A and B are shown apart, each in its own frame.
Chain A
Amino acid sequence: NAGVTQTPKFRVLKTGQSMTLLCAQDMNHEYMYWYRQDPGMGLRLIHYSVGEGTTAKGEVPDGYNVSRLKKQNFLLGLESAAPSQTSVYFCASSRGTRGLGELFFGEGSRLTVL
């Protein structure tokens, strides 16, 4: 039972390049989330999904796209990376509905955009 797994764990991009972060969970959770964490700040919600085939914008969605084609996977895409997107990205999942209940986080993906 791996929980929440993120790949890759580290990535360096040049400005304008694109990439996809993959999040996989094996807990059969309905809700999945992508957050970014910057130094001295809390987590900020980028996008989230309340079930397979659904996605919604969070607090800071600009510059990112997501897809949830399978219940266990939630992909975060950067179409044209910018230095402002340098951050640590965390995926999370939860069983609870409407923001209630424990979030289970992946180990994080450190992205640097040069």
Chain B
Amino acid sequence: GENVEQHPSTLSVQEGDSAVIKCTYSDSASNYFPWYKQELGKRPQLIIDIRSNVGEKKDQRIAVTLNKTAKHFSLHITETQPEDSAVYFCAPRGNYQLIWGAGTKLIIKP
């Protein structure tokens, strides 16, 4: 089956700095790459996604970049704020279903 790895598992950044989380996948047929955010005790929510025919997508402070050749995609958060503290999951689509990474805990230091 598909193997999905996220790095780092925990990321601590100063408020206002940028954060980057990387997701590596193994299935070369994957063609849909979403990122979900889960705040403590809450449900996961989609924050940004990208299709395989696009290399980058931005939505205000959040961006996703895709490198299909290397089979990885990354979440970029600029000007981090306290409300960005959460666990972030990548979930590339493999064999018609999403395959979830183990998550990255993002800590924003005041």
What residues make up the interface of A, taking CB atoms closer than 8 Å to B? 40-45, 48, 58-59, 90, 98-100, 102-103, 105-108
Contact = CB atoms under 8 A, between A and B. Distances in A.
A103 B98 contact: yes
Interface centre among A45, A48, A102, A103 (most CB of B within 10 A): A103
Given A40-B102, A42-B89, A42-B103, A99 B43 contact: no
Given A42-B89, A98-B96, A100-B93, A105 B101 contact: no
Interface string B1-41: 10010000000000000000000000000001010100000
Interface of B: 1, 4, 32, 34, 36, 42-46, 49, 89, 91, 93, 96-98, 100-103
Contact of A99 (B4, B36, B98): B98
A10 B91 CA distance: 27
B101 A42 contact: yes
Contacts, number: 45
Nearest to B89: A42
Contacts of B32: 99-100
B102 A42 contact: yes
Contact of B100 (A40, A44, A48, A106): A44
Nearest to B30: A99
A102 B49 contact: yes
Contacts of A43: 44, 89, 91, 100
Nearest to A107: B43
A65 B91 CA distance: 24
B45 A41 contact: no
